[in-house]
Structure 1
Amino acid sequence: MVVQRVRASVDPVARVALLVPLAHLDREFDYQVAQEQSDDAQPGVRVRVRFAGRLVDGFVLERAATSGHAGSLGWLDRVVSSEPVLTPEVAALARAVAARTAGVRADVLRLAVPPRHARVEAEVPPKPTAPPPPPEDLPRWAPYPQADGFLAALREGRAPRAAWQALPGEDWPARLAEAAAVTVAGGRSAVLVVPDQRDVDRVHAACARILGEGSVVALAAGLGPAVRYRRWLAALRGQARVVVGPRAAAFAPVTDVGLVAVWDDGDDNHAEPRAPYPHSREVAVLRAHAAGAGLLVAGHARTAEVQALVESGYARDLLAPRAVVRERAPRTTALADTDEQLARDPAARAARIPAIAFAAARAALAVGAPVLVQVPRRGYVPALSCARCREPARCRRCHGPLALPAAAGPDGAGAPVCRWCGVTDTAHRCTACGGRGLRATVVGARRTAEELGRAFAGVPVRTSGAEEVLATVPASAALVVATPGAEPVAEGGYGAALLLDGWALLGRADLRAGEEALRRWMAAAALVRGAEAGGQLVVVAESELATVQALVRWDPVGHAAAELASRAEVGFPPAVAMAALDGVPAALEALVASAELPAGTEVLGPVDSTDAPHGAQGWERLLLRAPRAQGRALAGALAAAQGVRSAHKEADTVRVQVDPHRIG
């Protein structure tokens, strides 16, 4: 028996965004709404529709009286839930992110809206509680002269945009919580995006102390589907006014967002590893701009992308005076890791650290303070540097990293080849000192907790790394060996920090090597007591290097400005727009040939891809470089070309990343 459906009497057409990750289907489709579905099939709800002979999921974007489709329309199969989980703001943000990244909206929506949990959705939500008013006086922001104006603008519901450089030793979770509380006091909501779970826990605890547990939720994938969906619904329904979480939290459906903050945007965790590879910072900028919300990009260090926002006038600096910086920063010493340094002290030689670093650790332990030892992760890919000055060897054509090909042989004989554009440099000359010799840079770390334990007999040694990451350590004499990003917070601060094997960071074959080294060093140094309290920092790297000097002076802004100028000179993001294309050679050639690339676009490569998916054979990488003003046109051209390939059911995949976080 066939049931005759009756069209809804009001707005019988639903425009639906299908969750189908095919580029040629990245648009809305119209469906008829039955009368019995009309009350539930509102914009934002989940629906099931029949498409190409199968049932697929989607979201209703809007209801309309008529359709522009000339043929007959299919019916909504069913309304999965009457909960409007896709807000108009997030729907527009998903479209903007897809356009920015040459991606498909369906992929963005999967990042923005978690899977449904029916039992949680049916629960009776608790009544929202009014958060306590934030303190009128926020003395902890006093070291930053521009903070009063920024916080006042948040309280008044305006949209200030700032790049905040947190001081060494700053309780940055509390400062973010205070900014969120001021925003809530102004009647709006806040989204705070941090790199990892440790930071989520710290910021959530700080927000709960000021606003109360009911006004803030922490979102993270490790919560489990029920807990995560319950918290996500609390934000959607307006019960929680502040959301804290990693990169997906940038899409949190809070009511009337007034502040979007990103902490430590240089951290790799902010870069989404799944298509279309959006970065938290870019999502935050797009969202704040569209919603008329405040934007705060913060950290101890600064990326070239944030510096570009400041130099363009889009954001303002939020800095402390140099006198305050010098007071808060630890006393910093930089020295090379040489045999001469190790030979000065037998104990230092046993610990495989220079004598000055050994003495700093011994002095801190003597007064009962913990000592942090940062050891770079193992397994960085070897690269080449100048044999005379150790400046990373760069291609004269595109400024990419040089490396010896496998064909060079075990003795390393052969001409270096650029890993980006593939050009062989038979007559390389260092741009810094003019030297022609090349050498392999340091790879990985050779210091271990066991070696330190033998050198500092009787001192407890704690480790924090991949197997177990410590959140805090007590304020007692101990050696804390940690890999970058896993440094625990010490009560009262560390008495000293030793940053070992600097060349393992500085010598990486990556465009961001210097920027990333400074970020990791500053994150560790910020945990050390100030110079007036006896805090010492020793970095094992050449003191003449610009990155090391930026650490010694505690000048992340100057380093970011120099980095941005350098990128502009050699033509790399954020000074230009760039897209990285990975795939088999024939597919890459066909995509570039079919794309209507904007004027001025350059093609670099191809070279062998170092980021091919598991099982992929013969992948190569092309880089497309265009003027910054043509970034949207470049992304649009690639999206259109991908749509044509998708419609033709091309078998070979081409992965497109616009302004990728990692290029080398």
Structure 2
Amino acid sequence: MTPDDRDAALPGLARAAARKSGAAARARRAKQAAAAVEPAAVDPVARVLVDLPLAHLDRTFDYTVPASMADQAVPGARVKVRFAGQDVDGFVVERAAESDHGGRLTSLRRVVSAEPVLTPAIATLCRRIAERYAGVSADVRRLAVPPRHATTEKQPSPPAPPLESRPLGGEEPWAAYPAGAAFRHHLRTGGAPRAVWSAAPGEDWPRRLAELAEATRDSSRGTVICVPDHRDVARVDAALTDLMGPDHHVTLQAEAGPGPRYRDFLMVSRGARRIVVGTRSAAFAPVHDLGLVVIWDDGDDLHAEPRAPYPHTREVLLERAEIEGCAALVGGFSRSVEADRLLQTGWAKEISAPRPTVRDRALIGVAGAGDRRDPYAGAARVPREAHDAVRWGLERGPVLVQTPRAGYVLRLACDRCRTPALCSACTGPLQLTGPTTPPRCRWCATEVPGWVCAECGGHGLRAPVIGDARTADELGRAFAPVPVVTSSGDRIRAEVDAERRIVVATPGAEPVAAEGYAVVVLLDTWLLLARDSMRAAEEALRRWSNAVALLRPGGRALAVGEPATPALQALVRWDQAGFAGRESEERREARLPPATLVATLRAAPGALDDALTLLDLPDDADVLGPLAPLPGAVDEDERAVLRVPRAHGAALSAALAELQRVRSARKLDPVRIQVDPMEI
């Protein structure tokens, strides 16, 4: 370097030296400040769970509690701590007199909030759920504790109004279920029974659940009720208000917004409310003196958390029942194979209505697609029996027609050779969006007014798959001038009045009729059964049962499909319990869940191979894969499926958790692990 170059570089070197000197000075000041902190006189050590999504750091770390923070740094409080050179959030879970760490402890940076929002029971629940699903407890805590809303936190939580004295009376509300009266009595006397409830058709299930919450409240305990969506929350909310009056419970759901949601959460954590109803996140509500946890319709996939570590609400509530020693109820009109397993293992008892009660509440039949009395109607989608049922129902009130697909005509095919009609530009499927619109591609939206079949040259089109809009058009013409309304997609109706009308709805979007439906018709039952899923038949029966359950007492239901189908036969007999038992036995023979515990691993090809090499599996584990992505799939990751007997599920979860810790510590490519997924 020449003298001129050295002179030119001096300002830059000086700035670098100044920065280095400044950093050293700041480090010295930080050490001096840490050394000068006076620790708390009592329990000067705080064990903190840092909010980091890194598996190898998923444990508590010890920090010194300054004397100035001694009263605020209580277990459950939010704090800021110094970790790896940066300030991170965390929760104090314990105060101790001394630490196992031999060196000097860093002090807490500050107490963000002295509000104890993470109770010991919920902290234990988060840890166990993370262990079961091979995840990180920080991810579970984000599901359990909502973000802080400082303005709301400063406001006091008003206490619940005083309980009105009233006679206990008998057990008439549950008289239709012989075991239900005993279950309610145990709740009222402080017991912790566990049951699987199969509701009868037409049952006012929100009212029944509200009665169980009331019985639990009579023993000075709390209740958590988890339902699939906000419409169900509104129904249970109304039932609780009608039975006990306002301000005795809260609803927890994401749609409420950050402020109201945190306000309701604080009312629960402060003990001002002991009855909670909500969706997935309500399973973690810190209810004081918890006496009962309830999940309704546990087979609904809305109960499966879409965020890591993907816990299911049913498993969260059952784990919580074990931790807190409270009662548990798994209810629904249908029965999942997981609920059936709870009965088979003896973990729970059955609550169901006797056969005469079921027969008195609903008459269910099956009609083939096409009227056997009319040879020209053999290909009819809506047979004569369905038209007769709709006509009979309209004389008595509203009629519900369930069709599996939303839209108008979702698929088109040549009416001569049945070849699917495809777009010439992108080979996407053609559809109709209305009665007067030309065929349009579902992928690129190209209109094809002059379509010609590439196989036979035909110009005619037929509709093998019809949506709710086309169904409403057909029924509107057949039963004019009766009004026809639809409920599907983003236009879901919560309820309809008792006036005579036809309601066409997709599964899960059926509105509740004020006095129940006179008739329920299930169209295109084959379409639900044709889904490429291990749970296709179970899910179809669940959706049909939920629709039939909307009947008024003495109503009628008709399913259009093949009468010999086992799922339809179970619906006609209202024998969802028997169907779940047979399904469980078939899965046990095939080594499928719930008889086995299954985990899926997804990652880039190289990362997945490395993960399988590092994984220390139990001796009886099966490895299926790696499986390459399907041609044309957006996701290019490979997939592997691991399977072990249910008794060794904890060992598989532990092995997967250790794999995540090793990969996190080594900073290897991520691997997405999903334990016990609803779909394999």
TM-score, length-scaled by structure 2: 0.84
CA contact under 8 A between 1:341 and 1:354: conserved in structure 2?
no
CA distance in structure 2 between the partners assigned to 1:356 and 1:597 by the alignment: 56
CA contact under 8 A between 1:375 and 1:482: conserved in structure 2?
yes
CA distance in structure 2 between the partners assigned to 1:342 and 1:248 by the alignment: 53
Tell me by how many angstroms 1:444 deviates.
Answer: 6.9
CA contact under 8 A between 1:344 and 1:355: conserved in structure 2?
no
Q: What RMSD over aligned residues (CA atoms) do the two structures have, in Å?
A: 2.2
CA distance in structure 2 between the partners assigned to 1:247 and 1:372 by the alignment: 29
How many correspondences in the alignment? Answer: 593
CA gap of 1:169–1:42, structure 2 versus 1, over 3 A, is: same
The structure with the largest alpha-carbon Rg is 2
The one of 216, 220, 227 equivalent to 1:194 is 227
1:216 alignment partner in structure 2: 249
CA gap of 1:9–1:639, structure 2 versus 1, over 3 A, is: same
1:71 alignment partner in structure 2: 103
CA contact under 8 A between 2:274 and 2:288: conserved in structure 1?
yes
1:138 aligns to 2:144 (yes or no): no
Structure 1 residues 527-606: aligned runs within 5 Å: 527-530=550-553, 533=554, 535-606=555-626
Q: Any idea what the Cα deviations from partners look like across 1:521-554, whole Å, max 9, x if unmatched? A: 0000011134xx3x22111221111111000100
Tell me by how many angstroms 1:471 deviates.
Answer: 1.4
Q: Any idea what the Cα deviations from partners look like across 1:159-191, whole Å, max 9, x if unmatched? A: 100000111111100000000000011010000
1:203 aligns to 2:232 (yes or no): no
1:27 alignment partner in structure 2: 59
1:88 aligns to 2:116 (yes or no): no
1:103 alignment partner in structure 2: 135
Structure 1 residues 446-457: aligned runs within 5 Å: 447-457=470-480
Q: Partner amino acid for 1:60?
A: V
CA gap of 1:57–1:609, structure 2 versus 1, over 3 A, is: farther
CA gap of 1:340–1:444, structure 2 versus 1, over 3 A, is: same
The more displaced of 209-218 and 91-100 is 209-218
1:385 alignment partner in structure 2: none
2:638 alignment partner in structure 1: 620
CA distance in structure 2 between the partners assigned to 1:524 and 1:200 by the alignment: 18
1:354 alignment partner in structure 2: 383
Secondary structure in 1 aligned to 2:43?
Answer: coil
Identity, % of aligned positions: 51
Q: Partner amino acid for 2:403?
A: V
Secondary structure in 2 aligned to 1:486?
Answer: coil
1:511 alignment partner in structure 2: 534
Q: Partner amino acid for 1:545?
A: T
**Structure 2 alignment gaps of length 5 or more:** 1-28, 411-426, 428-463
Tell me by how many angstroms 1:38 deviates.
Answer: 0.8
CA gap of 1:282–1:103, structure 2 versus 1, over 3 A, is: same
Tell me by how many angstroms 1:339 deviates.
Answer: 8.2
CA distance in structure 2 between the partners assigned to 1:649 and 1:53 by the alignment: 18
CA gap of 1:265–1:609, structure 2 versus 1, over 3 A, is: farther
Q: Any idea what the Cα deviations from partners look like across 1:264-305, whole Å, max 9, x if unmatched? A: 001111000000000010001000111110000000000000
The one of 32, 40, 47 equivalent to 2:72 is 40
CA distance in structure 2 between the partners assigned to 1:201 and 1:175 by the alignment: 15
CA distance in structure 1 between the partners assigned to 2:132 and 2:466 by the alignment: 36
The one of 641, 652, 655 equivalent to 1:634 is 652
CA distance in structure 1 between the partners assigned to 2:557 and 2:637 by the alignment: 44
CA distance in structure 1 between the partners assigned to 2:519 and 2:573 by the alignment: 17
The more displaced of 140-149 and 583-592 is 583-592
CA distance in structure 2 between the partners assigned to 1:342 and 1:237 by the alignment: 68
Q: Any idea what the Cα deviations from partners look like across 1:115-173, whole Å, max 9, x if unmatched? A: 00111110122133233357432312001001122112111222100000111111100
Tell me by how many angstroms 1:605 deviates.
Answer: 2.2
CA contact under 8 A between 1:47 and 1:81: conserved in structure 2?
yes
Q: Partner amino acid for 2:54?
A: L
CA gap of 1:474–1:50, structure 2 versus 1, over 3 A, is: same
**Structure 1 alignment gaps of length 5 or more:** 383-409, 411-441
The more displaced of 636-645 and 367-376 is 367-376
The one of 650, 660, 664 equivalent to 2:677 is 660
CA gap of 1:362–1:36, structure 2 versus 1, over 3 A, is: same
Secondary structure in 1 aligned to 2:540?
Answer: helix
CA distance in structure 1 between the partners assigned to 2:253 and 2:281 by the alignment: 8
CA distance in structure 1 between the partners assigned to 2:510 and 2:230 by the alignment: 13
1:643 aligns to 2:664 (yes or no): no
Tell me by how many angstroms 1:585 deviates.
Answer: 2.1
1:236 alignment partner in structure 2: 269
CA contact under 8 A between 1:342 and 1:353: conserved in structure 2?
no
Tell me by how many angstroms 1:361 deviates.
Answer: 0.5
CA contact under 8 A between 1:332 and 1:536: conserved in structure 2?
yes
CA distance in structure 2 between the partners assigned to 1:186 and 1:342 by the alignment: 63
1:417 alignment partner in structure 2: none
Q: Any idea what the Cα deviations from partners look like across 1:540-596, whole Å, max 9, x if unmatched? A: 221111111000100010011011101101011110111011122222221122111
CA distance in structure 1 between the partners assigned to 2:583 and 2:528 by the alignment: 16
CA distance in structure 2 between the partners assigned to 1:489 and 1:215 by the alignment: 25
CA distance in structure 1 between the partners assigned to 2:588 and 2:117 by the alignment: 42
